[in-house]
Amino acid sequence: MKTSNAIVTVGLCPTWDIICRADNLRWNMHRILQSQTIRPAGKALNISRALAWMNIPSVAAGLWGEKDYAEMKEALAGQRKWIALKCTAVPGKTRQNITLIDTGNQREIHLRARSELATPAALKKLRGDLDCLVQPGDFCAFAGSLPPPVLMRHILPLIQSCRNARVRIILDSSGPTLRAVLQQGGIFLIKPNVEELSELVGEKIPNRVGPLLRAGKTLLPLADMILISRGSQGVLLLSRDFAFQARCTHPPRTVISTVGCGDYLLAGFLKGLAEHRMIPDALPPALQAAAAHAAGLTESRSWRQMQKRFPVNVREL
């Protein structure tokens, strides 16, 4: 489906995701893997991949290592119909992250390597590429890990350049760098989960509607909208003018993995916004995409099938 405004995903700390599945894992043991997947990832690229599953085009931007750039392009060749690759090649090699999934005990362990791609020179080069890429009204999602605060004076001009171009900036990250970027204001949307929202406001927030709304409203001077992910309890969406609660009325009976559900949630929400629906109408595709991914169905089922399988209730608060 065509959209009038581009969706640009920007990853500053991308990765290769290595996902291994095995049954009943324990320390000091040998086990044959049930499956292993290796793919270029990071939250930004995962959002583009989720949009491609929903037949929505996007532009994948951000940093990627020169040493494995060609390998990344080859891995995404089958999705080039929907993903326009515009990543900025910079010196170095993209990190690898490992996820071990114990299918017998339904538990996971995530091993994350440090990203070394973001340097002052790399961020300056990316800023120039984004200046040529984005147009007024585009959605620009900075998603995934952000570089450390020591690089803040190079990150803020990157965000400011997009703001000057009248781009709608989305932040889906966490940590001290996010707080510093958010403090500059002018953000269109942030998408914290309950833990990340607690981190942003500096206190533990229970996963209940009232406390979440009160905490979210303290951030509205800095962001136009806040989409709060509540796991199995759905989402809250609030702005200065409205607040909505949404959840699947028939959630997945079996959750295969929660890894990447937030990326599918944001992708579904961006799909709804880009199609010029009323803002509350963007909530059902967000939750349907997240539920389908949690159930492990995005590789074997179509987006249209998942819309019918996971009905969503939206209620104004």
Where in the chain are the domains?
A: 1-25+33-190, 198-317
Q: What is the pLDDT of residue 36?
A: 94
Between 169 and 308, name the one with better pLDDT: 169
Cα-based angle 16, 190, 49 (whole degrees, multiple of 5): 35
Give the pLDDT confidence of 112-132 residue by residue, as tens digits.
999 999 999 999 999 999 999
Q: Is the pLDDT of residue 2 over 50?
A: no
For residue 1, pLDDT beyond 50: no
What are the pLDDT digits (tens) for 135-167? 999 999 999 989 988 999 999 999 999 999 999
Q: Place 295 in a pLDDT band, splitting at 50, 70 and 90.
A: confident
Domain spanning 198-317: CATH 3.40.1190.20? yes
Percentage above 90 pLDDT, the chain: 74
Banded model confidence at residue 305, pLDDT cuts 50, 70, 90: confident
**Per-residue H/E/C for the chain:** CCCCCCEEEEECCCEEEEEEEECCCCCCCCCCCCEEEEEEECHHHHHHHHHHHCCCCEEEEEEEEHHHHHHHHHHCHHHCCCEEECCEEECCCCEEEEEEEECCCCEEEEECCCCCCCCHHHHHHHHHHHHHHCCCCCEEEEECCCCCHHHHHHHHHHHHHHHHCCCEEEEECCCHHHHHHHCCCCEEEECCEHHHHHHHHCCCCCCCHHHHHHHHHCCCCCEEEEEEECHHHCEEEEECCCEEEEEECCCCCCCCCCCCHHHHHHHHHHHHHHCCCCHHHHHHHHHHHHHHHHCCCCCCCCHHHHHHHCCEEEEEC
Sign of CA dihedral 31, 35, 40, 41: negative
Report how far apart the first and last C-alpha atoms of the chain are (Å, whole number): 31
Phi first, then psi: what are they for 9, rounded to 5°? -105, 135
Fold of domain 1-25+33-190: UDP-N-acetylmuramoyl-L-alanine:D-glutamate ligase (3.40.1190)
Q: How confident is residue 211, by pLDDT bands cut at 50, 70 and 90?
A: very high
pTM of the predicted structure, to 2 decimals: 0.92
Mean pLDDT calculated for residue range 62-78: 96
Q: Are the folds of 1-25+33-190 and 198-317 the same?
A: yes
The mean pLDDT value of the chain amounts to 92
Among residues 120, 111, 142, 99, the alpha carbon closest in space to that of 256 is found at 99
pLDDT at 231 over 50: yes
pLDDT digits (tens, 9 = 90+) for 4-42: 689 999 999 999 999 999 999 989 989 899 999 999 999
Do 124 and 90 meet the contact criterion of CB atoms below 8 Å apart?
Answer: no
Distance CA 23, CA 142 (A): 35
Strand duo 35-41 + 88-90: pairing: unpaired
